[in-house]
């Protein structure tokens, strides 16, 4: 405890780095204390620190404070929170919610640094302080901090724990996220809009869905395609690369989708489930059964980031394999965040900002005691947080990247960005407005479509076609 107290009381270069992160995360502190007296000296220190692999990320706007929200709604929070863990005592009510939040963020960053330095004793000492300040029923900062603390605790173990939830719970959490927020539906809408635009004059379509484990995206596109002025396509084939044994629910839903397509006037619809992981060998014309008359569309919803490795070789080979399919269009939807920097502390800080914004958005949509909110956070968001924080090497698959990084990698692979049209932008704004929450923002970002929360980028949607000016890859 003395080590931690000394860390908090005596500023060092590391303290200054974390103090800056806290001040950007918690705008209320700036209002309380005013600007730094030695601002120029501090900014010089801050700018010299490399937090990620992309220097431009230092200029990204960080998430708005939650502590201001807590000040506004503080009267409702002056109560003991119900706990579901024996080792997590209920925090006592406090009159200074700003200082409480600042202390929690400070402890998280101190613990992350201790973990990064492999000081297990100090990290566990700080974790014991964090457990008393987090709650699954608390405000967004308390809730997101709980999952980051669990990730840090897991990282301390030689063999981090595996998944925290079952496959069924993951599916339920994802479905609830789709129902209650626009983050998932935004990607589906943007991808479907781009596919329908590119398929306007096509009669035979083959849609290849990477990593498909649900059928939430496709019913709407069937209705849109069937209502084209020139009539519905003659044939639509779906090939889903599912990575393992199919879920009965997925097979049933795809079967019903084909029946619905026939009722809407599509002469032939079929689906095929490929029980293999996405790989260059899976993405071959022979394996996918491509036909000469088909227009091929490759759809990736939050999948390609799983192939971003530290060597960056894996994603390159996947993109090269996709290019050899000569697709009419490739749709890519990803989390717009840099969670793949070379340094753990930088990744931790970036992911804390990112997921805090998402947890804050859930507060604006669902009540504090909502079981649906808890399922979303535990079964979906916490799984991603756990992977980003606790794992390294091939086990760390949640390697999200920013828009500029995706543009570079897809461009190098021989793809050209198809700029988002005004119709797609209008559709996205209409979709988001239907959720009745003012915090969501929709914008175009260098030809891509971006969904954010209070100005913080959350999701990115883009469409790509082959760059005809580049020579074919071997």
> pLDDT value at position 27?
38
More confident residue, 75 or 468: 468
pLDDT of 36 higher than 80: no
| 420/412 Cα distance (integer angstroms) | 20
Q: What is the pLDDT of residue 89?
A: 46
How many angstroms from the chain centroid is the CA of residue 294?
32
What whole-number percentage of the chain has pLDDT above 90? 67
Q: What is the mean pLDDT of residues 251-260?
A: 95
- pLDDT, one tens digit per residue, over 447-465 is 999 999 999 999 999 999 9
β-bridge partners, 335 = 459
Each residue's pLDDT tens digit, 143-200: 999 999 999 999 998 666 667 788 889 999 999 999 999 999 999 999 999 999 999 9
Q: List beta partners, residue 271.
A: 238
Give the rounded percent of residues in the chain with a pLDDT score beyond 70. Answer: 76
Q: Confidence band (pLDDT; 50, 70, 90) for 473?
A: very low
Residues 1-21: tens digit of each pLDDT: 443 333 333 334 444 455 555
60 vs 171, higher pLDDT: 171
Token duo for residue 441:
């923002």
**Residues 107, 13: Cα–Cα separation, whole Å:** 17
Count of C-beta atoms within a 10 Å radius of residue 18: 21
Q: How confident is the model at residue 37 (pLDDT cuts 50, 70, 90)?
A: very low
**Minimum mean pLDDT among 26-40, 73-87, 143-157, 282-296: which range?**
26-40
Question: Quick one: CA dihedral 350, 351, 354, 359, positive or negative?
Answer: negative
Let me know: does 304 contact 321? Beta carbons within 8 Å. Answer: no
- Identify whether the C-beta of residue 236 lies closer than 8 Å to the C-beta of residue 258: no
What would the pLDDT profile of 370-407 be if each residue is shown by its tens digit?
A: 999 999 999 999 999 999 999 998 899 999 999 999 99
- 222: CB partners within 8 A, 6+ apart: 236, 257, 260, 261, 264, 266, 269
Q: What is the pLDDT of residue 101?
A: 83
User: Does the structure show a pLDDT above 60 at 65?
Assistant: no
Contact 443, 450 (CB under 8 A): yes
Q: What is the mean pLDDT of residues 248-258?
A: 93
Secondary structure of the chain in HEC code, one letter for each residue: CHHHHHHHHCCCHHHHHHHHHHHHHCHHHHHHHCCCCCHHHHHHHHHCCCCCCCHHHHHCCCCCCCHHHHHHCHHHHCCCCCCCCCCCCCCCCCCCHHHHHHHHHHHHHHHHHHHHCCCHHHHHHHHHHHHCCCCCCCCHHHHHHHHHHHHHHHHHCCCCCCCCCCHHHHHHHHHHHHHHCHHHHHHHHHHHHHHHHHCCCCCEEEEEEECCCCCCCHHHHHHHHHCCCCCCCCEEEEEEECCCCCCHHHHHHHHHHHHHHHHCCCCEEEEEEECCCCCCCCCCHHHHCCCCCCEEEEEEECCHHHHCCCCCHHHHHHHHHHHHCCCCEEEEEEEECCCCCCCHHHHHHHHHHHHHHHHHHHHCCCCCCCHHHHHHHHHHHHHHHHHHHHCCHHHCCCCCECHHHHHHHHHHCCEEEECCCHHHHHHHHHHHHCCCCCCEEEEEECCEEEEEECCEEEEEEEEEEECCCCCCCC
Question: In the predicted model, what is the mean pLDDT of residues 279-292?
Answer: 95
- Closest Cα partner for 441 from 450, 192, 332? 450
Mean of the pLDDT values across residues 259-264? 96
Please count the residues of the chain: 474
Q: Which residues fall within 8 angstroms of residue 368, CB to CB, at 6 or more apart? A: 76, 137, 138, 139
Q: Which of 250, 308, 312 is nearest to 278 (CA)?
A: 308
* Average pLDDT value for the chain: 82
C-alpha R_g of the chain: 24
* Banded model confidence at residue 310, pLDDT cuts 50, 70, 90: low
Is the entire prediction scored with pTM above 0.85? no
Mean pLDDT in residue range 25-32: 38
Q: Which of 241, 453, 179 is nearest to 335 (CA)?
A: 453
Q: What is the pLDDT of residue 157?
A: 85
Residue predicted with more confidence, 23 or 291: 291
Overall average pLDDT of the 288-313 stretch: 91
Over residues 45-68, mean pLDDT: 37
> pLDDT confidence of 42, banded at 50, 70, 90?
very low
- Residue written as token pair 């394999």: 321
Q: What is the pLDDT of residue 86?
A: 46
Among 43-57, 189-203, 426-440, the least confident range: 43-57
pLDDT at 34 (0 to 100):
37
Q: Are 228 and 258 in contact (CB under 8 A)?
A: no
Residue 336, token pair as written in the block: 């717009």
pLDDT at 165: 86
How confident is residue 247, by pLDDT bands cut at 50, 70 and 90? confident
Rounded Cα–Cα distance for residues 221 and 264 (Å)? 12
Q: Considering only residues 359 and 168, tell me which one the structure prediction assigns the higher pLDDT.
A: 359
């Amino acid at each position: 405890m003395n080590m931690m107290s000394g860390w908090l009381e005596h500023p060092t270069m590391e303290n200054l780095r974390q103090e800056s992160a806290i001040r950007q995360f918690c705008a209320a502190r700036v209002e309380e204390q005013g600007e730094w007296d030695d601002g120029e000296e501090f900014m010089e220190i801050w700018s010299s620190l490399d937090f990620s692999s992309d220097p431009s990320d230092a200029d990204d706007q960080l998430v708005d404070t939650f502590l201001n929200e807590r000040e506004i709604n503080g009267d409702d929070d002056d109560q003991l929170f119900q706990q579901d863990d024996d080792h997590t005592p209920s925090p006592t009510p406090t009159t200074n919610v700003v200082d409480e939040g600042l202390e929690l963020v400070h402890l998280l960053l101190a613990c992350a640094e201790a973990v990064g330095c492999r000081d297990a004793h100090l990290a566990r000492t700080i974790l014991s302080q964090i457990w008393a300040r987090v709650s699954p029923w608390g405000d967004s900062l308390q809730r997101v901090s709980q999952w980051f603390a669990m990730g840090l605790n897991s990282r301390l173990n030689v063999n981090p724990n595996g998944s925290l939830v079952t496959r069924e719970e993951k599916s339920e959490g994802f479905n609830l996220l789709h129902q209650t927020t626009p983050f998932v539906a935004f990607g589906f809408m943007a991808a479907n809009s781009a596919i329908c635009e590119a398929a306007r004059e096509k009669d035979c379509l083959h849609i290849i869905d990477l990593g498909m484990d649900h059928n939430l995206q496709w019913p709407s596109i069937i209705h849109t395609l069937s209502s084209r002025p020139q009539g519905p396509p003659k044939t639509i084939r779906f090939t889903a690369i599912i990575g393992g044994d199919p879920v009965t629910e997925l097979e049933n839903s795809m079967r019903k989708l084909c029946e619905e397509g026939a009722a809407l006037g599509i002469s032939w619809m079929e689906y095929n489930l490929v029980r293999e992981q996405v790989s260059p060998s899976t993405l071959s014309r022979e394996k996918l059964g491509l036909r000469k008359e088909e227009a091929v569309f490759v759809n990736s919803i939050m999948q390609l980031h799983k192939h971003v490795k530290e060597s960056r070789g894996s994603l390159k080979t996947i993109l090269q394999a996709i290019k050899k399919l000569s697709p009419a269009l490739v749709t890519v939807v990803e989390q717009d965040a840099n969670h793949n920097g070379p340094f753990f502390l930088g990744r931790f800080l970036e992911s804390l900002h990112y997921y805090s914004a998402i947890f804050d958005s859930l507060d604006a949509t669902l009540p504090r005691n909502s079981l649906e909110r808890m399922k979303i956070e535990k079964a979906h968001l916490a799984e991603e947080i756990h992977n980003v924080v606790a794992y390294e090497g091939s086990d760390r698959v949640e390697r999200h990247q920013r828009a500029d990084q995706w543009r570079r990698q897809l461009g190098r692979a021989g793809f050209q960005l198809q700029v988002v049209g005004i119709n797609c932008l209008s559709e996205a704004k209409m979709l988001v407005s239907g959720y009745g929450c003012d915090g969501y923002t929709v914008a175009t970002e260098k030809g891509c479509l971006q969904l954010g929360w209070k100005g913080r980028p959350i999701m990115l949607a883009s469409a790509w076609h082959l760059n005809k000016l580049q020579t074919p890859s071997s």
